[in-house]
A and B are shown apart, each in its own frame.
Chain A
Amino acid sequence: MADGSGHHQVVVKPPNIATDIHRESDPLVRAVDRVALSGAAVALASGFVLPFVEFRANRIVEGVSYRTWSVAGVWGWLLLAALAASFAAALLPRGLRGNSLLVCGVGGFAAWLFAAGAAATRLMPTNGSSARVSIAMGAWLIFLGISVVLFQGNQTSTINGGRAMALAVAGGAGVAAWFLGGLQQLSLVYEYQAQSDTIWTLTSNHIVLSLGATAIALVIGIPLGIAASRVTAVRATVIPVAGIIQTVPSLALYGLLIVPLGLLGLPTLGTLPALIALTLYALLPIVRNTYLGVSGVDQAVIDAGRGMGMRRGELLLLVELPLALPLVLEGIRASLIMVIGITAVMAIIGAQTLGTLVFLGWGSIAVDLVLLGALPMVVLSIIADQGMRFLQRAIVSPGILIREGQD
């Protein structure tokens, strides 16, 4: 593997004892990837010991569990082989490790999809009826283990565009398993098909509520943060108050809101109180980071700006805010992800969000329903997180991200 730095110099040069000793003792070269190793080990053990899927002939009878190797045929064994390979890959020297982990992880992911599909196809009676095949504990743990392997592989891979290739292969495997591999036979899919309209409505509600609360918090929070950096009295009130709000549990905060809302004649249940509570939560990271960002600007920079004849507004827009931007964006990211989570809880007070689905599933002991609420939330959080990081790279000046003295 072209690893660029130094290691293969040993091959080119005559044997160099000092260098070899150095290599032996270099932890980066010798150490195994403990994280990937644990992930693969957990997955492998789960694959052998824990149930992979569960079959119920109808809603009333007790489920029957099946293990990976007993139910998924050749795909089950392929899956176990990929997990064993991942385990071995984690032991490889660093130069080979990342790429091997990535390949094994993607292979394992594809095998997992097809194994689940194969198990469902095999167990489901052809006449349909009310029988269900659902993913069981072992399969979830294997999925978790594979995610860990993929994450580690992605971190250390040296293949150009390795991430894109892995994503393409995984996506292709997903489509293939869906149309050819019997993935549609899983209970999760049946449940989704039954509830798809509701899920999409709740997802869009969830997005609107989260984004709306964050947007309002931005409009209020950024000016407040700037004001806090200018006026001591504002800082001394706003920051602690926002901090106190954040420490109040979400339902207690809602409870505190009922009285003023009722006095104003506004609805005390549903979207409006949820939006208000979420906005209050989103406020602290935005206000605090704006305050920290603006007040942290180097005094020499401010002095130079003023000395060159910038007005206050120009100084704020051309100098202070651009320099505070990384912190402000970090605050927005923190708020957004937090709010996506708390929006689910707001289902309790009648806001129609993905949390509604989770609580509904919980109440009726329908695990698939809980998952159909939870999975979209996970996806939303990941999208929000990655989107904000992308935005940071796109709009923050590279001059700020450079470290001192770096060329």
Chain B
Amino acid sequence: MRNRLPAGLAPAVLAVGALAIVVLPLVGLVQRAPWSTLGRDLRAHDAFTALRLSVVTSLGALGVSVLFGVPLAWVLARRVFPGRALVRALVTLPMVLPPVVGGIALLYAFGRQGFAGRILYDVTGWRFVFNTSGAILAETFVAMPFLIVTAESAFRSMDRRAEEAAATLGARPAYRFRRVTLPAVAPALAAGGALTWARALGEFGATITFAGNFSGTTQTTPLLVYLDIESGNEATALALSLVLLAVSLVVLVGLRDRWIGKV
């Protein structure tokens, strides 16, 4: 008889490995953090500017995503049209596309020499590049799929019978949507919105490629973290990283019922 490990030990050991990969970097971040100078580091001009810009752009991206993404999710869930599967695939593409590639793609579309950007510039004088709106567009490109996917699934899986009942009570589509559909999907929309916002807040690749890296206009927090680390300004980089980590944790805890509570 060979000696055998107790049943279940092997997976447990491997599971600890997985945990180590995820947790140890966070430990590294926290133990190197300049706790004593944290407040001062965050109030430094560059850091504060980047944080403020991040709040503006990530909320902007969330707003644009809600404005355009929720209707698209509704159409995908409720309307049958040719090419729907293709549209659905295209919409989710940014979730798997390397963000840098997304940034380059945005450049060729909405950059000043991009086919759409040039027309826009010629007609209105508006440009996305080197402009805060460019950062918002880049973040939206990367983050909106999270909202669309969540919202579409909610629109698709909600109980349609209540909508039918509302129609027989004389409720027109807009009223129905507001008083029956929206309340039914609200929890899912909130969760999708939180994910979208968190993703937009952490966006790096597409933003730096498309919008550039200019303090006050396009230099969001992740961009500044990278710049600070590269230029040896470790304290600020760590302080900002902690902020981003804290925000991520808050979002996760807020979503715990949806993502971690359920088994």
Do A and B actually bind?
no
Q: B residues bordering A, Cβ < 8 Å?
A: none
